[in-house]
Structure 1
Amino acid sequence: MEHSHSHDHGHSHSVQINKSNQNVFLIGIGLNLAFVVAELVAGLIYNSMALLTDAGHNLSDVASLVISMVAFWMAKKKSSAVYTYGYKKTTVLAALLNAVVLLVAIGILGYEAGTRLARPEPVQGDVIAWVAGLGIVVNSVSAFLFFRQKQELNSKAAYLHLLADALVSLGVVVAGIIISRTHLYWIDPAIGLAIMVVILISTWGLLRDSFKMTIDAVPVGIELEAIKKLIKKVPHVKHVHHVHVWPLSTTENALTAHVVIDEHLPFTRKLDVIAEIKHELEHNNIHHSTIEMAQEAH
């Protein structure tokens, strides 16, 4: 079977953090990292599982923000004769490592919280409330910074996540106040366990998605059959087969496909059809496409 190849490596629709967003991410990372240290120190000094687990929760936010920054930095590195797609895949490996480390931390903290729940120890509820109150301020300020940049996908995700964290901190404040008034010390490890459930749910999703990306599964949010139908809708496309879609990074996707185009069209018109296919794919979150023209079997 005779065939010809057309390759495209454009970036016009890829999701990347622009220069102005980079500063917002740096500020967000700095604020949240400082708060993680404050929660960790206070949790150890005042023996609070709620503060320690919330520190782990906020650390996951810092890791997520750092991963986005790594994606920005890696996207700027040029490809080479060995790494022909550059270093974009490292963002996927970083996400996978982040998920594994968080799961290990959850296991350790979960064991400690369970032990503490069985034998509650005295904690200072007012200290827990004040430190968690600081968390509300940090997360709210960070969320506001990202809200101003929310037209960008990574910033929007960070904004929503930090807003949710502010609500978690509010829950810890309420728990601290209740402990200081009632001396029901079991509330501290109970809140810690509740926060760990929140971390587990989000981390499991991160682990699942990053593992799928690592083995080049179809990216989340893309349906293979829908992509095939999209290509078939382009005028003069008769058939499409051997379609493969995989992630190049946490923000960019690639595709290869064989298409059969109306054989009565001139070659230059066939190239126009391929250009139209690529244009449609770019609008559907596929940034690199390789389309092979093939003759229909008779």
Structure 2
Amino acid sequence: MSFRELRPWQHDHTFGQDARRPGESRTMLVIALTALMMVVEIGAGLAYGSMALLADGLHMASHAIALSIAAFAYVYARRHAADERFSFGTGKVNALAGFAGAVLLAVFALMMAWESVARILSPVGIAFNQAIGVAIAGLLVNGLSVVLLGHHHGEHDDEDEEDRHHHHDHNLRSAYLHVLADALTSVLAIFALLAGKYLGLFWMDPAMGVVGALLVARWSIGLLRATAEVLLDRQAPPHLTDSIRTAITQDADTEVADLHVWSVGPGIYSAILSVVTATPEPPEHYKRLLPEHERLVHVTVEVHGREHDVSART
């Protein structure tokens, strides 16, 4: 057959990745806000001699880089969605960017812990009034960023933890955790600065840094685990694989001998299944049995007859 004659049996592999994702525009806006506040905090830290503000500004710089990775991933995935070099589209670019963001979160946590311990051993003077004012401004900016990126963060509250890992936009989650870490840093900085100014508890500043580092490290580990599962093609959550098995075995004397379901993008899955039955049907028959509510975008069915060596692929 010619290529034209084969067209009815062919399809693209973009799976919706060529569309602009909701998180892309919000990420771009948050990058601008983060970069602006980064410049303000670094400038204020240098002007007022405040290591706390300078450190927070440098932290925001690292997060601006991480957010830029997230933005690049959105654009790259969209522009290369139809590139035939990607067997199942560019959906995993999302998870790869999320993984990179999680690594940066881990580095950020180590930097926070290292700097905090250094301040405990060698305390530095802080210009409290100016530092508190800029820290409050930073909190307002970070709070706005959290709201922007967290708009769809709770859409799957009715799902269990494993389902959320598989349905989440990991790229957006990475960006969300970065700005949440910035907001947490600002809150802890304000608390520590107020304690130092009014109660003389100068050790609170580095102590809160250690607490923040531990929380950020915990977020990083969770995101690393979730994105690594996608990148390593971990089997889809049980509710999805069970629904596929149930749908296929509704035919009498039909069993699923082998089943592989993995994520190829946020909330998008591909599947390969081997069916064994006494009354073989064409692969399209079994595809029609699959649950329509699940986002199965690329399904391959292999059919084996119990009594005869019958197999078909599509």
Select which of 69, 73, 79 maps to 1:70.
73
Partner of residue 132, structure 1:
135
1:271 aligns with 2:284: yes
Structure 1 residues 146 and 128, CA, compared in 2 at 3 Å: closer, same or farther?
same
Amino acid at match of 1:177: L
2:101 matches 1:98: yes
Matched, 1:233 2:246: yes
Partner Cα separation in structure 2 for residue 159 and residue 214 of structure 1:
20
Q: CA deviation at 1:39?
A: 3.3
Contact residue 236 and residue 273 of structure 1 kept, 8 A: no
Query: What's the offset of the Cα at 1:21?
Result: 5.3
C-alpha contact (below 8 Å) 1:216/1:247 kept by paired residues: yes
For the structure 1 residues 9 and 294, does the alpha-carbon distance in structure 2 shift closer, same or farther, using more than 3 Å as the test?
farther
Paired position in structure 2 for 1:206: 223
Secondary structure of 1:248 counterpart:
strand
Amino acid at match of 1:82: R
Contact 1:16–1:72 (CA under 8 A) maintained in structure 2? no
The question of 1:23 aligning with 2:39 is answered no
CA distance in 1, matches of 2:46, 2:72: 30
Per-residue CA deviations over 1:101-133 (Å, capped at 9, x if unaligned) read 333343344223212112322212223321221
User: Comparing both chains, which one has the higher relative contact order based on Cα–Cα distances under 8 Å and sequence gaps of 6 or more?
Assistant: 1
- TM alignment of 1:110-125, pairs within 5 A: 110-125=113-128
Superposition RMSD in Å: 3.9
Show the 5 A alignment for 1:1-298: 18=20, 22-43=24-45, 46-49=49-52, 52=55, 56=59, 59-60=62-63, 63-64=66-67, 66-67=69-70, 70-71=73-74, 73-146=76-149, 154=169, 166=183, 169-218=186-235, 222-223=236-237, 225-234=238-247, 235-236=250-251, 238-249=254-265, 252-260=268-276, 263=279, 267=282, 271-277=284-290, 279-282=292-295, 286-296=296-306
User: Displacement of 1:35 after TM fit?
Assistant: 2.0
Q: Partner amino acid for 2:218?
A: I
Rounded Cα–Cα distance in structure 2 between residues aligned with 1:176 and 1:142: 23
Which residue identity is paired with 2:128?
G
How much does 1:44 deviate?
Answer: 5.8
Letter in 2 for 1:243: L
What is the CA-CA distance between 1:200 and the residue it aligns to? 0.7
Where does residue 3 of structure 1 map in the other structure? Answer: none
Q: Rate the CA distance shift 1:7–1:129 in 2: closer, same or farther, 3 A.
A: farther
Output the TM-score relative to the length of structure 2.
0.70
**TM-score (ref. length: structure 1):** 0.73
Q: Percent identity?
A: 22
Go from structure 1 to structure 2 and tell me whether the alpha carbon gap of 1:55 and 1:203 turns closer, same or farther (over 3 Å shift). Answer: farther
User: In 1, Cα distance between the equivalents of 2:197 and 2:19?
Assistant: 44
Does the aligned pair in 1 maintain the 2:14–2:82 contact within 8 Å? no
Query: Which segment is superposed worse, 36-45 or 185-194?
Result: 36-45
| Conservation of the 8 A alpha-carbon contact between 1:58 and 1:165 | no
User: 1:179, 1:37 → 2: CA distance?
Assistant: 25
Structure 1 26/131 Cα, relative in aligned 2: closer, same or farther at 3 Å? same
Structure 2: runs of 5 or more not aligned: 1-8, 156-167, 309-314
- Give the unaligned 5+ runs of structure 1: 1-5
Q: Give 1:227 shift.
A: 3.1
The CA deviation at 1:17 is 7.1
Once the two structures are superposed, residues 184-219 of structure 1 have per-residue CA deviations (whole angstroms, 9 ceiling, x without a partner) of 32121112212211211111122222333332223x
Deviation at 1:18, TM superposition (A): 4.0
Cα deviation digits, residues 12-52 of structure 1 (max 9, x gap): 7x689746654333112211232234334445663434762
